[in-house]
Structure 1
Amino acid sequence: MSDITDRIGEVSESIARTACERLREQGKIRSYLCVDTHGIDFLLITSCWQAMPLQVKTSWFGAKRHYKKYPGIPVIVIRHRSVRMNKRRKRCLVETAEFQILELLAVRKYTISFMFFLFVFSRKLQSRYAA
Protein backbone atom coordinates (compact mmCIF):
# COMPACT_ATOMS: atom_id res chain seq x y z
CA MET A 1 0.00 0.00 0.00
CA SER A 2 1.13 3.50 -0.69
CA ASP A 3 1.40 6.24 1.89
CA ILE A 4 -1.59 8.09 0.42
CA THR A 5 -3.74 4.93 0.54
CA ASP A 6 -2.77 4.37 4.17
CA ARG A 7 -3.58 7.99 4.98
CA ILE A 8 -6.99 7.79 3.28
CA GLY A 9 -7.72 4.70 5.39
CA GLU A 10 -6.71 6.58 8.54
CA VAL A 11 -9.07 9.42 7.62
CA SER A 12 -11.91 6.93 7.09
CA GLU A 13 -11.27 5.40 10.50
CA SER A 14 -11.21 8.88 12.04
CA ILE A 15 -14.60 9.61 10.48
CA ALA A 16 -15.96 6.31 11.82
CA ARG A 17 -14.57 7.14 15.28
CA THR A 18 -16.37 10.50 15.18
CA ALA A 19 -19.59 8.73 14.14
CA CYS A 20 -19.20 6.27 17.04
CA GLU A 21 -18.60 9.12 19.47
CA ARG A 22 -21.71 10.95 18.27
CA LEU A 23 -23.80 7.78 18.59
CA ARG A 24 -22.48 7.35 22.13
CA GLU A 25 -23.33 10.96 22.99
CA GLN A 26 -26.86 10.46 21.60
CA GLY A 27 -27.31 7.30 23.71
CA LYS A 28 -27.67 5.04 20.67
CA ILE A 29 -24.69 2.95 21.78
CA ARG A 30 -23.29 2.52 25.28
CA SER A 31 -19.66 2.73 24.24
CA TYR A 32 -17.12 1.68 21.64
CA LEU A 33 -13.56 0.42 21.61
CA CYS A 34 -10.88 0.98 18.97
CA VAL A 35 -9.64 -2.58 18.51
CA ASP A 36 -7.77 -2.71 15.16
CA THR A 37 -7.10 -6.46 15.13
CA HIS A 38 -8.33 -9.65 13.41
CA GLY A 39 -10.40 -7.74 10.83
CA ILE A 40 -12.02 -5.51 13.47
CA ASP A 41 -11.45 -1.75 13.71
CA PHE A 42 -14.11 -1.01 16.34
CA LEU A 43 -16.21 -2.89 18.84
CA LEU A 44 -19.54 -1.22 19.53
CA ILE A 45 -21.32 -1.94 22.81
CA THR A 46 -25.07 -1.48 22.77
CA SER A 47 -27.25 -0.27 25.63
CA CYS A 48 -28.20 -3.89 26.45
CA TRP A 49 -24.54 -5.03 26.61
CA GLN A 50 -24.41 -6.62 23.20
CA ALA A 51 -21.22 -6.21 21.18
CA MET A 52 -20.87 -5.71 17.44
CA PRO A 53 -17.49 -5.81 15.72
CA LEU A 54 -17.03 -3.34 12.89
CA GLN A 55 -14.54 -2.91 10.06
CA VAL A 56 -14.07 0.34 8.12
CA LYS A 57 -13.14 0.33 4.43
CA THR A 58 -12.71 3.07 1.84
CA SER A 59 -14.06 1.11 -1.14
CA TRP A 60 -16.63 -1.55 -1.99
CA PHE A 61 -13.80 -3.66 -3.41
CA GLY A 62 -12.05 -3.56 -0.03
CA ALA A 63 -15.32 -4.45 1.68
CA LYS A 64 -15.78 -7.44 -0.63
CA ARG A 65 -12.25 -8.68 0.13
CA HIS A 66 -12.91 -8.24 3.85
CA TYR A 67 -16.16 -10.26 3.69
CA LYS A 68 -14.34 -13.12 1.98
CA LYS A 69 -11.77 -13.26 4.78
CA TYR A 70 -14.05 -12.33 7.72
CA PRO A 71 -17.66 -13.11 6.73
CA GLY A 72 -19.01 -12.56 10.25
CA ILE A 73 -17.65 -9.04 10.69
CA PRO A 74 -19.75 -6.24 9.19
CA VAL A 75 -18.23 -3.40 7.20
CA ILE A 76 -19.07 0.23 6.68
CA VAL A 77 -17.67 1.92 3.59
CA ILE A 78 -16.54 5.53 3.89
CA ARG A 79 -15.64 6.64 0.37
CA HIS A 80 -13.49 9.65 -0.27
CA ARG A 81 -10.38 10.26 -2.33
CA SER A 82 -8.50 12.86 -0.39
CA VAL A 83 -6.91 13.23 3.01
CA ARG A 84 -8.01 16.87 3.01
CA MET A 85 -11.67 17.82 3.01
CA ASN A 86 -13.81 20.69 4.12
CA LYS A 87 -16.01 20.58 7.23
CA ARG A 88 -19.20 20.16 5.24
CA ARG A 89 -17.88 17.09 3.40
CA LYS A 90 -16.58 15.56 6.63
CA ARG A 91 -19.91 16.18 8.38
CA CYS A 92 -21.72 14.47 5.50
CA LEU A 93 -19.38 11.44 5.71
CA VAL A 94 -19.84 11.23 9.51
CA GLU A 95 -23.64 11.29 9.12
CA THR A 96 -23.45 8.58 6.44
CA ALA A 97 -21.26 6.45 8.72
CA GLU A 98 -23.73 6.92 11.59
CA PHE A 99 -26.57 5.79 9.34
CA GLN A 100 -24.65 2.69 8.19
CA ILE A 101 -23.80 1.76 11.78
CA LEU A 102 -27.40 2.20 12.95
CA GLU A 103 -28.63 0.00 10.09
CA LEU A 104 -26.22 -2.77 11.09
CA LEU A 105 -27.25 -2.48 14.74
CA ALA A 106 -30.95 -2.58 13.83
CA VAL A 107 -30.53 -5.88 12.01
CA ARG A 108 -28.85 -7.40 15.11
CA LYS A 109 -27.39 -10.13 12.90
CA TYR A 110 -23.85 -9.34 14.00
CA THR A 111 -24.33 -8.66 17.71
CA ILE A 112 -23.10 -11.05 20.38
CA SER A 113 -22.86 -10.92 24.15
CA PHE A 114 -20.14 -8.47 25.15
CA MET A 115 -18.98 -10.82 27.93
CA PHE A 116 -18.72 -13.69 25.42
CA PHE A 117 -16.68 -11.49 23.10
CA LEU A 118 -14.32 -10.54 25.93
CA PHE A 119 -13.87 -14.20 26.84
CA VAL A 120 -13.05 -15.29 23.28
CA PHE A 121 -10.87 -12.26 22.57
CA SER A 122 -8.87 -12.68 25.79
CA ARG A 123 -8.27 -16.36 24.94
CA LYS A 124 -6.93 -15.36 21.52
CA LEU A 125 -4.60 -12.81 23.10
CA GLN A 126 -3.39 -15.35 25.67
CA SER A 127 -2.63 -17.93 22.98
CA ARG A 128 -0.82 -15.32 20.87
CA TYR A 129 1.48 -14.22 23.70
CA ALA A 130 1.97 -17.67 25.25
CA ALA A 131 4.05 -18.85 22.31
Structure 2
Amino acid sequence: MDDWMRWLVVAGVLVVLELFSGTFYLLMIAIGLGFGAIAALLGMSVPVQVMVAAVVGVVATELLRRSRPPMAVNSESARDPNLNIDIGQTLVVEAWQDRQARVMYRGAPWDVELAKGAADGAGTFRIVEVHGSRLVVAPA
Protein backbone atom coordinates (compact mmCIF):
# COMPACT_ATOMS: atom_id res chain seq x y z
CA MET A 1 0.00 0.00 0.00
CA ASP A 2 1.37 3.40 -0.95
CA ASP A 3 1.86 6.17 1.60
CA TRP A 4 -0.90 8.33 0.16
CA MET A 5 -3.38 5.45 0.56
CA ARG A 6 -2.43 5.04 4.21
CA TRP A 7 -2.99 8.75 4.81
CA LEU A 8 -6.43 8.57 3.19
CA VAL A 9 -7.44 5.43 5.11
CA VAL A 10 -6.57 7.06 8.43
CA ALA A 11 -8.36 10.26 7.33
CA GLY A 12 -11.43 8.18 6.43
CA VAL A 13 -11.39 6.51 9.85
CA LEU A 14 -11.29 9.94 11.49
CA VAL A 15 -14.21 11.13 9.36
CA VAL A 16 -16.24 8.11 10.50
CA LEU A 17 -15.30 8.77 14.14
CA GLU A 18 -16.29 12.40 13.58
CA LEU A 19 -19.79 11.28 12.66
CA PHE A 20 -20.11 9.66 16.09
CA SER A 21 -18.53 12.49 18.10
CA GLY A 22 -20.53 15.43 16.77
CA THR A 23 -17.62 17.88 16.88
CA PHE A 24 -15.68 19.19 13.91
CA TYR A 25 -12.23 18.79 15.44
CA LEU A 26 -11.63 15.27 14.13
CA LEU A 27 -12.71 16.51 10.71
CA MET A 28 -10.05 19.23 10.85
CA ILE A 29 -7.40 16.62 11.69
CA ALA A 30 -8.71 14.47 8.82
CA ILE A 31 -8.23 17.46 6.51
CA GLY A 32 -4.64 17.65 7.70
CA LEU A 33 -4.23 13.94 6.94
CA GLY A 34 -5.65 14.57 3.48
CA PHE A 35 -2.93 17.13 2.90
CA GLY A 36 -0.44 14.52 4.10
CA ALA A 37 -1.77 12.27 1.34
CA ILE A 38 -1.29 15.06 -1.20
CA ALA A 39 2.29 15.50 0.02
CA ALA A 40 2.84 11.75 -0.46
CA LEU A 41 1.42 11.94 -4.00
CA LEU A 42 3.84 14.76 -4.76
CA GLY A 43 6.71 12.45 -3.77
CA MET A 44 7.76 14.20 -0.58
CA SER A 45 9.57 12.25 2.13
CA VAL A 46 7.66 10.75 5.08
CA PRO A 47 8.93 13.36 7.60
CA VAL A 48 7.76 16.15 5.27
CA GLN A 49 4.39 14.42 4.86
CA VAL A 50 4.01 14.24 8.64
CA MET A 51 4.93 17.92 9.00
CA VAL A 52 2.46 18.97 6.30
CA ALA A 53 -0.32 16.92 7.90
CA ALA A 54 0.49 18.28 11.38
CA VAL A 55 0.69 21.93 10.33
CA VAL A 56 -2.51 21.81 8.26
CA GLY A 57 -4.36 19.92 11.02
CA VAL A 58 -3.29 22.39 13.71
CA VAL A 59 -4.08 25.42 11.55
CA ALA A 60 -7.50 24.02 10.58
CA THR A 61 -8.29 23.20 14.22
CA GLU A 62 -7.26 26.68 15.35
CA LEU A 63 -9.34 28.31 12.61
CA LEU A 64 -12.33 26.23 13.68
CA ARG A 65 -11.83 27.23 17.30
CA ARG A 66 -11.64 30.91 16.40
CA SER A 67 -14.65 30.75 14.08
CA ARG A 68 -17.07 30.04 16.90
CA PRO A 69 -19.14 32.99 18.00
CA PRO A 70 -18.18 34.07 21.50
CA MET A 71 -20.40 32.77 24.24
CA ALA A 72 -22.78 35.48 25.31
CA VAL A 73 -21.94 36.44 28.85
CA ASN A 74 -24.92 38.20 30.29
CA SER A 75 -24.40 39.19 33.87
CA GLU A 76 -28.00 40.40 33.86
CA SER A 77 -29.54 37.10 32.76
CA ALA A 78 -31.97 37.26 35.69
CA ARG A 79 -33.43 40.40 34.02
CA ASP A 80 -33.26 39.36 30.36
CA PRO A 81 -36.72 38.78 28.85
CA ASN A 82 -35.09 36.87 25.97
CA LEU A 83 -33.95 34.22 28.43
CA ASN A 84 -36.96 34.12 30.74
CA ILE A 85 -40.55 34.48 29.57
CA ASP A 86 -41.70 35.63 33.02
CA ILE A 87 -39.86 38.96 32.82
CA GLY A 88 -42.40 41.69 32.11
CA GLN A 89 -45.44 39.62 33.10
CA THR A 90 -47.80 40.96 35.74
CA LEU A 91 -49.22 39.46 38.89
CA VAL A 92 -51.41 40.62 41.76
CA VAL A 93 -50.09 40.82 45.32
CA GLU A 94 -52.72 41.04 48.05
CA ALA A 95 -50.43 41.80 51.01
CA TRP A 96 -46.74 42.19 51.82
CA GLN A 97 -44.84 41.04 54.89
CA ASP A 98 -41.30 42.43 55.25
CA ARG A 99 -41.17 43.22 51.50
CA GLN A 100 -41.99 39.59 50.66
CA ALA A 101 -45.16 37.78 49.68
CA ARG A 102 -46.47 34.45 48.44
CA VAL A 103 -48.70 34.58 45.35
CA MET A 104 -50.28 32.26 42.82
CA TYR A 105 -48.64 32.71 39.43
CA ARG A 106 -49.08 30.36 36.46
CA GLY A 107 -51.07 27.98 38.66
CA ALA A 108 -48.42 27.56 41.35
CA PRO A 109 -47.40 29.40 44.52
CA TRP A 110 -44.31 31.61 44.12
CA ASP A 111 -42.21 33.62 46.53
CA VAL A 112 -42.20 37.29 45.57
CA GLU A 113 -40.02 40.12 46.79
CA LEU A 114 -40.04 43.81 46.04
CA ALA A 115 -37.35 45.33 43.88
CA LYS A 116 -35.07 47.88 45.53
CA GLY A 117 -36.75 51.23 45.83
CA ALA A 118 -40.25 49.88 45.14
CA ALA A 119 -43.05 50.74 47.53
CA ASP A 120 -45.06 47.90 49.02
CA GLY A 121 -48.82 47.88 48.84
CA ALA A 122 -51.50 45.64 47.43
CA GLY A 123 -51.93 45.82 43.70
CA THR A 124 -50.60 44.75 40.35
CA PHE A 125 -46.85 44.27 39.96
CA ARG A 126 -44.56 43.59 37.01
CA ILE A 127 -41.86 40.92 37.22
CA VAL A 128 -38.43 42.50 36.71
CA GLU A 129 -36.13 39.63 37.78
CA VAL A 130 -36.27 35.91 38.43
CA HIS A 131 -33.91 34.27 40.93
CA GLY A 132 -34.62 30.55 40.92
CA SER A 133 -38.17 30.23 42.21
CA ARG A 134 -38.26 33.78 43.58
CA LEU A 135 -39.81 36.60 41.56
CA VAL A 136 -38.60 40.18 42.02
CA VAL A 137 -41.35 42.66 41.21
CA ALA A 138 -41.91 46.39 40.85
CA PRO A 139 -45.21 48.29 40.69
CA ALA A 140 -46.82 47.94 37.27
Which TM-score applies when normalising by structure 1? Answer: 0.25
Q: Highest Rg: 1 or 2?
A: 2
Larger helix percent: 1
Highest RCO, 1 vs 2 (Cα 8 Å, sep ≥ 6): 1
Which TM-score applies when normalising by structure 2? Answer: 0.24
